[in-house]
């Protein structure tokens, strides 16, 4: 049996155990997600179409991976205006494996719902007396865990507050002189310690990859800025 589903503004023809990449859906690896927008389903030549969706039809899928698509470059140039704009975009994607195609309001299999049910049953089995005895121990363990975690949290906060690069001493350059860097982008670069033409000109490929990973700029954009900065830094 196959089904045609709609998610992320796109349509996909799927069958059980198919592996496909769709626009990001919320969920951790191993979670079961439900896709209720089923446009059609069928087997062989017998196909049922919805108007626009098939009532009571549901497709479940297991989250296999959360990731990103390759970088797409959007380039715009105005003739004789000495103006050009280059922007990179990486779409967030979720890799899923189709688990079931359900019809007529059928519910997902017990396997898909076993996680939450198992947790509920485990909680229900704990006797009230055992809870009362365990309460002081749990409170003590929580206090100790908080005390141990405090230095780690402070270290994480310091790391998060740190910039990607160390800003050089002296007056900063006007980075908007570089074509493709506007006031907003210049401010973002300054916040991460990039303030001069010389700094951008000396960026290594490893630095470019770091910026690509942590900032909303593509590697191609940064390399273009690096070439322009080499002339400006002379």
User: For 44-53, 103-112, 166-175, 198-207, which range has the lowest pLDDT when averaged over its residues?
Assistant: 103-112
For residue 59 the two structure tokens come to: 């497709």
Q: Taking a C-beta distance cutoff of 8 angstroms, is the pair 80, 111 a contact? A: no
Query: What pLDDT score does 136 carry?
Result: 65
Q: How many CB atoms lie within 10 A of CB 26?
A: 9
Q: What is the helix (H) or strand (E) element at residue 124, kind and residue range?
A: helix 110-125
What pLDDT, in 10s, does the model give residues 63-102?
999 999 889 999 888 888 788 888 888 899 999 999 999 9
Predicted pLDDT of residue 219? 87
Contact 11, 5 (CB under 8 A): yes
CA-atom Rg of the chain in angstroms: 27
Question: pLDDT tens digits, residue range 36-66?
Answer: 889 999 988 889 998 889 998 999 999 999 9
Give all domains of the chain, ordered by start, each with its CATH number: 2-104 (no CATH), 175-232 (1.10.150)
Angle, vertex CA 95, rays to CA 32 and CA 57, nearest 5: 50
CB of 220 closer than 8 Å to CB of 73: yes
DSSP H or E run through 67? strand 58-68
* CA-based nearest residue to 83, from 219, 221, 231, 182: 182
User: What is the model's pTM?
Assistant: 0.44
Give the model's pLDDT for residue 157.
47
Name 205's Cβ contacts closer than 8 Å, sequence gap at least 6: none
């Amino acid at each position: 049996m196959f089904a045609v589903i709609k998610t992320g503004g796109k349509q996909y023809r799927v069958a059980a155990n198919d592996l496909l990449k769709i626009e990001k859906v919320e969920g951790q690896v191993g979670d079961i997600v439900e896709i209720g927008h089923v446009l059609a389903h069928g087997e062989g030549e017998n196909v049922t179409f919805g108007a626009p969706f098939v009532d009571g039809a549901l497709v479940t899928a297991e989250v296999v991976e959360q990731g990103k698509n390759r970088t797409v470059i959007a380039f715009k140039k105005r003739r004789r205006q000495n103006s050009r704009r280059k922007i990179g975009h990486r779409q967030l994607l979720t890799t899923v494996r189709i688990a079931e195609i359900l019809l007529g309001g059928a519910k997902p299999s017990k396997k898909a719902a076993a996680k939450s049910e198992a947790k509920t049953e485990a909680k229900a089995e704990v006797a009230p007396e055992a809870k009362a005895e365990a309460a002081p121990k749990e409170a003590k363990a929580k206090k100790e865990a908080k005390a141990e975690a405090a230095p780690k949290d402070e270290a994480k906060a310091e790391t998060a507050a740190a910039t990607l690069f160390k800003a050089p001493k002296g007056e900063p350059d006007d980075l908007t002189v570089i074509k493709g860097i506007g006031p907003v982008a210049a401010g973002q670069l300054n916040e991460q310690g990039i303030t001069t033409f010389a700094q951008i000109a000396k960026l290594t490929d490893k630095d470019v990859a770091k910026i690509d990973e942590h900032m909303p700029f593509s590697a191609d954009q940064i390399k273009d800025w690096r070439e322009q900065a080499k002339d400006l830094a002379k």
